[in-house]
Structure 1
Amino acid sequence: MKYSDILQNDDPNNSLNLLMKRINKGKAFDDEIAGFISDRIMIEDKYYKELQKLTKKQISLDDEFMGGFGRVYKEYIKLNTVIAEIHKRVTEVLMEAETKMRARLTAQDMTKIKNVIIDK
């Protein structure tokens, strides 16, 4: 049912109740999506921190012993550093998205809607 159909109802109180139900369902959906994003944030956060920790490990053998593989190893470490930074940024973007999802309809907004006086 469209919002315009809800508001064309003959009974204003019924219209408000229907609208409130629709708003509450939307808020529940937003909260569910925000919860999913929150779980993803925890995964990304842990992943990028573990990658950063991994890139700080040093090989105990000297470069001379590793030969040509030393350069490969150093490039691999650089690549993991870049990947860690990408996942760190993903975490930051997801945090912003979660905050926006949770703030789409505040408790204050809900109170304003509930306190609407309907003239008959």
Structure 2
Amino acid sequence: MDIRTLALQGREPDAAELCARVSDLCRDGPALLVCDATAVTRPTLATAHALARAALTARRLGVPFRVRAAPPLRGLLDLVGLRQPLAEPLRQSEQREPPGRVQEGVEPDDPAVR
């Protein structure tokens, strides 16, 4: 599984530059692009805007995009409604047994259910 990481630093990233970097990293189709924004300690709405545009760029290229964020940025993403689509934690799918089939016995004298 090819996972690429993009480091985001500075206070207000340029959205166009960030999208260009995302396009370069997604050129040969990694399985996932993670934007490491833990260095962003004072996020602004411009930060959230740039991350949203970067996520759209990655998704248009068919690459899932996630943000690894420090608490101030997670709070801002939550406030603007982007935390779930961008900063949702990466989880491994659980191994479950396939659902069992319901086995019903029918008695000859049972009335039909209506």
Q: Same fold (TM over 0.5)?
A: no
Question: Bigger radius of gyration, 1 or 2?
Answer: 1
TM-score by length of 1: 0.20
- More helix by percentage: 1
RCO higher in structure (CA 8 A, sep ≥6): 1
Q: Which structure has more strand as a fraction of its residues?
A: 2
